Each structure stands twice: as C-alpha cells, then as structure tokens.
Amino acid sequence: MFLRELDAPITSIRGAGDTTARLFAKAGIHTVSDLLRHYPRDWEDRSRMVPLKDFSRFPSVCTVITVLAHDWIGFGRMRTLKVHVEDDTGRAVLVCFNRPFLERQLIVGNQYRLWGRFYYKYGEIQSTAFEIEAVHSGSANSNTAKPGSGSDARGTGFGAGPGKIMPVYPLSAGLNQGLLRKLVKRALDEYAPALEEELPRAIIERDGLLPKPQAIRAIHLPSSMGELDLARKTLIYGELFYLEVIIGRRALERRKITGGPRQEAGNRGNEKNQPTEKLLTPLQQRLLERLPFSLTAGQTGAIAGINRDMDSPWPMARLLQGDVGSGKTLVSFLAALKAVEGGGQAAIMAPTELLARQHAENAARLLEPIGIRLSFLTGNIKAAGRKELLKRLAAGEIDIALGTHALFSQDVVYRDLRLAVVDEQHRFGVTQRSLIMAKGDHPGLLMMSATPIPRTLALTVFGDLDVSIIRDLPPGRKPIKTHLAMEANEDKVYSFVRKELAAGRQAYFVYPLIEASEGGRTADLKDAESMAERLAREVFPQYKTALVHSRLDEEEKRQTMDAFRRGEISILTATSVVEVGVDVPNATCMVIEHAERFGLSALHQLRGRVGRGDQQSYCFLVYSDPEGPLATGENLEDWQARLKVMLESNDGFVIAEEDLKIRGPGQIAGIEQSGYLSLGMANPIRDAAELEKARTDAFAILETDPGLLLSEHRCVAEVLERAPPFGGVGL
Ligand code: ADP
Ligand code: MG
C-alpha cells in the first residue's frame, strides 16, 4: 500500500471510537492516511533537561519532579486541583484546570517526568500547560533521569521513544496532543512497516534518503534530531519529485497532441524590430487604430509571442508577467481577438467581481464597436438572464465572455473555447486550470500576473509554461512619489490630498479593517467604515466620499466604483478590495493608513492604483507609532524594512525580490495562500535547491522512459495510477 491508499477509517485504530472519529473528522482527518499525513508543526526536543529554576530562560521546563502535596482551591464545581512539586533546583505548582483525575494519578512522594510552560504568579512558579509521565520504577530514585531512561513510560500516553523528541501537532477544537500522539503511534505500529516505496530506489540510495516506512515513522516519532532532518528531507523531496513528474508529464502531453517538439522560433529576438502591423491580425489592428496610443515594446513582444503560440498547432500555455499598470488587459483583449478571428471563443477571468466588471466595461468600450459580441458572467447573474446567456455561449453567439470563476462553472458550455485568460493568476487555486481546460478542446491558456515570480519558481512550478515579460510602462507615466508619515502627522497628508482634490483629482484611502469591532484587540486601529465617516464629515466636508469593502453587496460596490470612475466621487475609502486591477487614471493620491499592517506585495499593488494617467501621483504610507501596540506580534524590523523598500523602489520585480528576502523562507505573495501548491511539507521557495534537483530527476526519467515502463520506474507509474498526489488534479 502507498501512504495515500491507507483509507481505512480512523476507527480501525485501537482506541479510536465514534466520538474520536467525529472529532478528527472536524479537522479533516478521516482515514489512517489522513492521520499519518497530519504532520507535526513542530518537534520538542525533550532530550535536554531544563530544571525548574531555569523556567524563565527557556520556552518550557523539562525535568523530573517529586510530588509533594495536593491542594484544592475554589468551591463546588469550580474546584481546581493544585499539585505542589519539586525538582533538584526548586519548587513549583501545577494548576490542574478541568483535570481533577490527576489527583489519583499524581501520587504524593512519587516521581514523574514533567514538561510545561511555567510563569511566576502569586509568589509561585506555576504552570497550567504541562504534561506528565510516570518515571519507570527502576529509575525512581534518580533525580537526574537521563534521556531515554524509563522509555517504557505509561502515563498520559505519549509513548515516547528513547530520543524523547515529541511531535507537536496542529490542533483543532476537541483534539489534544496526547490523543493525537497516541493514535498516530498506534497507526504507525500497525501500518507503517508495510508501506510501499514511492521513490525510485536509485534516488533514495544516491541521496541517502530514508525508506518510506522509516521516513513516515521518523517524521512523527524521530529517535534523534538527525533522523528527523532526514525524514523531512525525504518527504520534501518526495513531494517535489511528484510535483515535477506531473508538470513534466503535462509538458509531454502538450507535445504529444501535435507530435514532435515545438520549433523554438529563431525569430524571437527579431520580432520586436518588425513593424507592429506585420505582427498583428486585421482585427487586432482595428482595435489598435481606435486607441489614442500605441503599444509599448513589452506589449508588442507579448502579443507577438501569443500570436505565434496561437498559430502553432500546440495549445498555448503562457504566463504574462508585467508590473501593475503595464497594460496587460489590452494584451489579453488582443489575444482574445486572435481567438475570435480564428472562428473560436475566448473567456477572460478575473479574481473579483469588481475587476471582472471593469474588464467587461473596457471590453464594451473597445471591442463592441469593432463588432465583437460580449457577455458578462459572474455568480451574481440571476437565473433567467443566466440561462439565456449560457444558451448564446453554447450556440457560439458570444465571442468573448468576461467574468469571475463562474465562467468555468459546471453548467457553462462553450461552443468552441480557444483561449482562456486568467487575470491575476496568483489569486486562483489549483483546480482552476483543469476546470478551464475541460471547457474546450485544448484551449490556449494565458495567465497574467503582476506578482513577479522568481526565476527558479517560474521554471519549476510553472515549468510547462512559456513566459512573456512586459518590462516597460506606457510612456508618459511619471514615477509615483512615495512618502512616509507618522500617524501623528496625518493632518499634513490630509492637507496635501486636499490640494490635489482642489485641482480636480481623486484619492483612495485604504485601511486594514472594515469596521471598528473587527478582530478583538483593535481599539487603536483605524477602520474603513469609521474613517469614511470622519473623512466625509471632518476632513473633507466639501468633497464627496464613498466606501467600498468586501462585505457590501455587488450592486452597491458597482455603483460606487462607477461613480468613482466617472469622477462623481472624489474620495474612495476602502479596504484592500481595491488592491487588484482597479483602473481610474484620474486618481492621483493613495493614502494607506496603518501601512505597517500590509504586506509588501499588497502595498505595491495598492500603490499601483495611482500613477495610471499622465498626472504626477502620490502614495502616502501612514504608519502608527512604533512604540504602540503591534497587534501583528511581528518584530519591528520587518515592517520597517517593507516600508523602506516601498520608499526606495517603484519596480515590482525589485519589490518581489526584496519581499522574498524579508520573508526569507516564508512564502511568495499569493502562491501558497491561494492553494496554488497543495504541498504538505515542502515549500518551493525555501526548498528551491531540492526543487531544482527533483525537477532534473523527474524530467530525466520522463525523457528516457516517458511511459514509465522500466522496472526501476514502476513505482512512479503505480503511484500516479493508484494514489495520484495533489488530488489527481495537478496544478
Ligand atoms: P495592468 O497591467 O496592471 O493590468 P492595465 O491593463 O489596467 O494594467 O492598464 C493600465 C492603464 O494603462 C489602463 O488605463 C490602460 O488603458 C493604459 N494603457 C495600456 N496600454 C497602454 C499604452 N500602450 N499606452 C498608454 N496607456 C496604456
Ligand atoms: Mg490588471
């Protein structure tokens, strides 16, 4: 059996009844496989002793104590047991909330192993979060119990091995560490030894990885930190290997459709020198003739690549990267025209209804006059209209459909979908791509993103995509001027904005919260609702102000955005809903309050809402007093570093690199959050080197043995067939 095939219900583990199963089900754990793939979020090295006297110097105490006395506080049902204990170095009190049964378990005079977080309270060293385990009688007299002694411990059921490295699991309501450890251990004992290998033997031997049974055991119950490292390395490599096998297979698939590798056009470099008219189709030229500007070099290069892809017998799979404001929308319209001209249909998908609607309005303005039949489809389109619309789509009476992910819901049928455009690609999840592909006969795919992806990642995660990059912005754009301001100086910012408004410009004010009550400890945080009122009433009484955030209904949002676009509203107070896509060239001021609360890519996206016309634009990053409460719990340097980057750079590519540096092994904007990668252990950024290796290995195998027929690749074929990773959808 492969790990993913262990689909016996959790109740098949001894000691797990229906009640337990129900608790686990809430955490998404139904089968033995789910349980064994519920990896610890951390490991506590309990092989190192931390005596009571050092309680404040380490996160937790790890010692051997003798029980001195029991003591009860409170009355009736509120009675709480206090257990007085001591080790070689001092005394402490265990406060046993809701654990009256410990009275019988912790016997006065006996010794126990103790782990817990201690603090100083009421003149005592106390703990409420602790775990205890009986010391084996053989070592009962040894106050300096060594790691490993008494490994036969019975008590709270950790059943720890000699190394005493304890897994710490992510928990959800009703689950506790003891229960998880107990069941995981039983599941390991029963199922792990028979687990089948998932990686080719040659790779395991080359890299000294652990065999699967040992890897899965050691990730939960390592016997040493060294073994734990190896187990992690093994599992991480395994995930990345299958990720790359799937990507590699898809690249092969694409090739197979047409037979033979694609000619990497030798004219790549020359295209930019060709007159634009030669690159464009007649319909594309008609659109351009209607525009008051011409394409930038980057846009021209992108559409050249797209046209070439769409002329080749291969389905296109292209990633278009371009900084905010670089004009990707226009490129996607040109691409859609190419599909329409070839007799097919195109769909353009945006992550929010706000943005989808804006695209639809632009399309109506630019494309309808040249005879293109459009439709707008979101989850909010009502039944009757929707039915009619779907009928026309299916009949081919619509050329280009614009909308949200509703464009690819189950009941939507296209007559001949040739191109799917995914705008702000990083906002979408893993399954989208396969849903889209299912809507046509190998439709071309154009993914667009303003979040540059580091080279390694682009090569690997998006390994089967061609990439176009727009490096230039439309001419005449003046770089946005960015200023920092302390919260106490916000009035200066407001005065500056007032001057811009007086000159007929518009402004955004962005806040981290929708309303005041949100999120508990937020008394000191400004929210969009209260500030909309304050700005309207006190600060800018002579200008019209409006509010948008994600909780308003779509119609209200639409009306507000339209009015803002038409210039009827001067000030738009918002949350980060305006982060993606919104395009109002007359807006010249972006004020972000509590800028310290926003991530770097959000800040850059928000700033990108201004500077879209030929007026000088400004971005004000207002931050709260650094001495004030930092609800994010983050250290000061990180947010300071973010604001510094914003101050120093306007370039999305530079900012993405810096973001990576600041967040270190963290994640890159959007990619993980959106579930783009449903990896368990691996993090493609942190594990870039492993990823590269896995890619080389996977591609080498597919190259020599595309059908995975050789006996040494048998296990790969079997995994793909019997237990496909990533839910079988791939990316
Ligand atoms: P993004 O790449 O962020 O999606 P948009 O497609 O929203 O950028 O374009 C930003 C603005 O630039 C729009 O108002 C668009 O009309 C304008 N624009 C696009 N291409 C050009 C161009 N070649 N010259 C001048 N303005 C352009
Ligand atoms: Mg855009």
CA distance 653 to 646: 12
- Choice between 409 and 628, residue whose per-residue pLDDT is larger: 409
Report for 117-131, 534-548, 640-654, 712-726: range of highest mean pLDDT: 534-548
Say if residue 340's pLDDT is above 70.
yes
For residue 64, the CA-to-ligand 2 centroid distance in Å is 61
The structure tokens listed for 652 are: 């999305």
Say if residue 319's pLDDT is above 80.
yes
pLDDT (mean) for 622-643: 64
Say which DSSP state 520 is in.
S
Ligand 1 atom at shortest distance from the alpha carbon of 613? 14
Q: Quick one: pLDDT band at residue 519, thresholds 50, 70, 90? A: low
Q: Verify whether ligand 1 is closer than 6 Å to residue 135 (CB atom).
A: no
Strands 91-96 and 80-86: antiparallel
Among all ligands shown, which has an atom nearest to the Cα of 470? Answer: 1
Three-state DSSP class for residue 183? helix
Among all ligands shown, which has an atom nearest to the Cα of 298? Answer: 1
Q: What is the chain's Cα-based Rg? A: 30
pLDDT at position 145: 33
Q: Which of 63-67, 454-458, 522-526, 632-636 has the lowest mean pLDDT?
A: 632-636
Q: Verify whether ligand 1 is closer than 6 Å to residue 322 (CB atom).
A: yes
For residue 482, the CA-to-ligand 1 centroid distance in Å is 21
pLDDT tens digits along 15-37? 889 999 998 998 889 999 999 99
CA distance 116 to 565: 58
CA distance 328 to 489: 37
- Report which of 192, 706, 649 is spatially closest to residue 452, judged by C-alpha positions: 649
Q: What are phi and psi of 402, to 5 degrees?
A: -120, 145
Q: Verify whether ligand 1 is closer than 6 Å to residue 612 (CB atom).
A: yes
The separation between CA 181 and the C-alpha centre of its own chain, rounded to angstroms, equals 28
Among all ligands shown, which has an atom nearest to the Cα of 323? Answer: 1
For residue 17, the CA-to-ligand 1 centroid distance in Å is 60
pLDDT tens digits along 57-101? 888 888 999 999 999 988 877 788 999 999 999 999 999 988 888
Pocket test for ligand 1, best of 612, 617, 650 (most atoms within 8 A of CB): 612
- Choice between 104 and 252, residue whose per-residue pLDDT is larger: 104
Say if residue 631's pLDDT is above 70.
no
Helix (H) or strand (E) holding 282: helix 282-289
For residue 657, the CA-to-ligand 1 centroid distance in Å is 24
CB atoms within 10 A of CB 663: 17
- Report which of 417, 480, 515 is spatially closest to residue 612, judged by C-alpha positions: 480
CA distance 609 to 243: 35
Say if residue 550's pLDDT is above 50.
yes
Say which DSSP state 186 is in.
H
Pocket test for ligand 1, best of 583, 607, 651 (most atoms within 8 A of CB): 583
pLDDT tens digits along 119-130? 988 889 999 888
Q: Verify whether ligand 1 is closer than 6 Å to residue 585 (CB atom).
A: yes
Which residues surround the ion ligand 2 when the cut-off is CB under 5 Å? Answer: 581
For residue 336, the CA-to-ligand 2 centroid distance in Å is 15
Say if residue 613's pLDDT is above 50.
yes
CA distance 378 to 391: 15
DSSP-assigned states of every residue in 346-403: EEEE-SSHHHHHHHHHHHHHHTGGGT--EEEE-TTS-HHHHHHHHHHHHHT--SEEEE
Three-state DSSP class for residue 509? strand
pLDDT tens digits along 381-423? 777 889 999 999 999 999 999 999 999 998 999 999 999 999 9
Among all ligands shown, which has an atom nearest to the Cα of 609? Answer: 1
pLDDT at position 57: 87
pLDDT tens digits along 345-365? 999 999 888 889 889 999 999
Q: Verify whether ligand 1 is closer than 6 Å to residue 583 (CB atom).
A: yes
Strands 91-96 and 124-134: parallel
pLDDT at position 458: 63
- Choice between 157 and 702, residue whose per-residue pLDDT is larger: 702
Residue 151: what residue type? S
Q: Quick one: pLDDT band at residue 516, thresholds 50, 70, 90? A: confident
pLDDT tens digits along 554-574? 888 889 988 999 999 999 999
pLDDT at position 156: 40
Q: Verify whether ligand 1 is closer than 6 Å to residue 288 (CB atom).
A: no
pLDDT at position 463: 65
CA distance 429 to 436: 12
Helix (H) or strand (E) holding 130: strand 124-134
For residue 327, the CA-to-ligand 1 centroid distance in Å is 3
Buried residues in 668-706 as b, exposed as e (16+ CB within 10 A):
bbbbbebebbbbebbbbbebbebbebbbebbbebbeeee
Say if residue 232's pLDDT is above 80.
yes
pLDDT tens digits along 659-683? 766 765 344 444 444 334 557 788 7
CA distance 658 to 650: 12
Report for 72-81, 272-281, 490-499: range of highest mean pLDDT: 490-499
Q: What is the mean pLDDT of the chain?
A: 83
pLDDT at position 142: 34
The structure tokens listed for 388 are: 């009619």
Q: Verify whether ligand 1 is closer than 6 Å to residue 359 (CB atom).
A: no
For residue 81, the CA-to-ligand 2 centroid distance in Å is 61
**Which protein residue's CA is at the shortest distance from atom 26 of ligand 1?**
474
Q: Verify whether ligand 1 is closer than 6 Å to residue 296 (CB atom).
A: yes
pLDDT (mean) for 630-645: 66
pLDDT at position 523: 57
386 to 383, 412, 619: CA distances (angstroms): 5, 10, 41
Helix (H) or strand (E) holding 120: strand 111-121
pLDDT tens digits along 233-249? 999 999 989 988 887 88
Burial class of residue 405 in the structure, from the number of CB atoms within 10 Å of its CB (0-12 exposed, 13-18 middle, 19+ buried): buried
Is residue 312 a contact partner of residue 304, using CB atoms and an 8 Å limit?
no
- Choice between 237 and 686, residue whose per-residue pLDDT is larger: 237
For residue 356, the CA-to-ligand 2 centroid distance in Å is 10
pLDDT tens digits along 280-297? 999 999 999 999 999 999
Among all ligands shown, which has an atom nearest to the Cα of 333? Answer: 1
**Which protein residue's CA is at the shortest distance from atom 24 of ligand 1?**
474
**Which protein residue's CA is at the shortest distance from atom 12 of ligand 1?**
327
Q: Quick one: pLDDT band at residue 624, thresholds 50, 70, 90? A: confident
pLDDT (mean) for 25-50: 88
The owner of tokens 């590699």 is 248
Three-state DSSP class for residue 514? coil
Q: Quick one: pLDDT band at residue 275, thresholds 50, 70, 90? A: low
pLDDT tens digits along 160-205? 433 478 898 888 777 888 889 999 999 999 999 999 999 999 999 9
Say if residue 140's pLDDT is above 50.
no
Pocket test for ligand 1, best of 321, 326, 330 (most atoms within 8 A of CB): 330
The structure tokens listed for 519 are: 């999120």
For residue 474, the CA-to-ligand 1 centroid distance in Å is 7
- Report which of 539, 550, 554, 552 is spatially closest to residue 593, judged by C-alpha positions: 539
191 to 204, 235, 536: CA distances (angstroms): 21, 17, 65
Ligand 1 atom at shortest distance from the alpha carbon of 585? 14
pLDDT at position 524: 73
CA distance 322 to 449: 7
pLDDT (mean) for 244-268: 58
Among all ligands shown, which has an atom nearest to the Cα of 332? Answer: 1
- Report which of 308, 227, 212, 236 is spatially closest to residue 266, judged by C-alpha positions: 308
Q: What are phi and psi of 475, to 5 degrees?
A: -65, 155
CA distance 199 to 214: 13
**Which protein residue's CA is at the shortest distance from atom 18 of ligand 1?**
327
Say if residue 250's pLDDT is above 80.
no
For residue 546, the CA-to-ligand 1 centroid distance in Å is 25
Q: Verify whether ligand 1 is closer than 6 Å to residue 610 (CB atom).
A: no
